[in-house]
């Protein structure tokens, strides 16, 4: 099996550290742990729309889920302000510490690098720009331009079209089993990033590669 030429990175949680959003929830009077429930709820409702061949913007679902969850968690007062405070934190998250070294190594290896997010391209642009890594990426892609969220096949096909390569020339890199599963079904090779010794569910397609850090990816893809 030849090595792929294009590395397609998921963004939220794969590159960015979403746990840092907990502080924004605490700022508005909610438990920090609500960040994880919020993120899962946004994906749940986004995938429900994907299942009926529809779509909404990640930020719009994110705002509506905050309007659902924050009052239930006891947040009172300026709800509009609280929603804005949490959402604005989402585009200023830190990157995981393994991202910079890994991206530089993969780029030096001659691989083409792109991102493909269910969120807005502007969020990924901001995350990568702040870290001085934007120039190493050929494209910063959002499913907003694909008409369908990952894990629908059309989302991965869109990345192939933008890069001018077939599915098997791409490797999708993600921490989320649902993303690995969707990419595998669409014909891509896949790398599951398991930073925390997590469990990979039996109902999802097995990844081509499993790494415990993005820094191990360069070795996996070199031959």
- In the complex, which residues of this chain contact its own copies (CB under 8 A)? 31, 33, 36-37, 40-41, 43-45, 47-52, 54, 56, 60-61, 64-65, 67-68, 71-72, 149, 151-153, 177-178, 181-182, 185, 196-199, 201-204
CB of 172 to its own copies, least distance (A): 14
CA separation for the pair 7, 2 (Å, rounded):
14
> CA-CA distances (angstroms) from residue 170 to 9, 27, 115, 164, 193?
10, 40, 12, 11, 16
CB nearer to its own copies: give 101 or 198: 198
CB of 127 to its own copies, least distance (A): 22
CB nearer to its own copies: give 73 or 105: 73
CB of 145 to its own copies, least distance (A): 18
Structure token pair of residue 209: 């590669």
Contacts of 61 (CB under 8 A, 6+ apart): 42, 45, 46
CB nearer to its own copies: give 39 or 137: 39
Q: Using an 8 Å Cβ cutoff, are 11 and 133 in contact?
A: no
CB of 41 to its own copies, least distance (A): 5
CB nearer to its own copies: give 114 or 184: 184
Residues making up the chain, counted from first to last:
223
Cβ burial, residue 179 (10 Å; 0-12/13-18/19+): buried
CB nearer to its own copies: give 68 or 161: 68
CB of 199 to its own copies, least distance (A): 4
Is residue 145 helix, strand or coil? helix
Structure token pair of residue 86: 């949490």
């Amino acid at each position: 099996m030849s090595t792929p030429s294009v590395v397609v990175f998921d963004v939220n949680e794969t590159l960015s550290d979403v746990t840092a959003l907990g502080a924004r929830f605490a700022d508005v009077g909610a438990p920090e742990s609500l960040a994880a429930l919020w993120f899962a709820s946004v994906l749940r409702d986004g995938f429900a729309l994907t299942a009926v061949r529809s779509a909404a913007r990640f930020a719009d679902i994110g705002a509506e889920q905050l309007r659902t969850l924050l009052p239930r968690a006891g947040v009172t007062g300026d709800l509009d302000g609280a929603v804005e405070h949490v959402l604005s934190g989402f585009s200023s998250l830190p990157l995981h510490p393994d991202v910079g070294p890994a991206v530089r190594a993969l780029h030096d290896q001659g691989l083409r690098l792109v991102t493909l997010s269910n969120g807005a391209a502007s969020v990924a642009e901001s995350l990568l720009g702040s870290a001085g890594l934007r120039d190493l990426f050929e494209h910063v892609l959002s499913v907003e331009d694909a008409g369908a969220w990952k894990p629908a096949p059309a989302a991965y096909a869109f990345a192939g079209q933008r890069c001018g390569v077939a599915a098997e020339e791409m490797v999708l890199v993600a921490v989320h089993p649902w993303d690995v599963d969707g990419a595998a079904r669409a014909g891509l090779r896949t790398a599951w990033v398991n930073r925390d010794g997590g469990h990979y569910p039996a109902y999802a397609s097995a990844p081509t590669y499993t790494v415990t850090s993005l820094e191990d990816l360069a070795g996996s893809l070199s031959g």
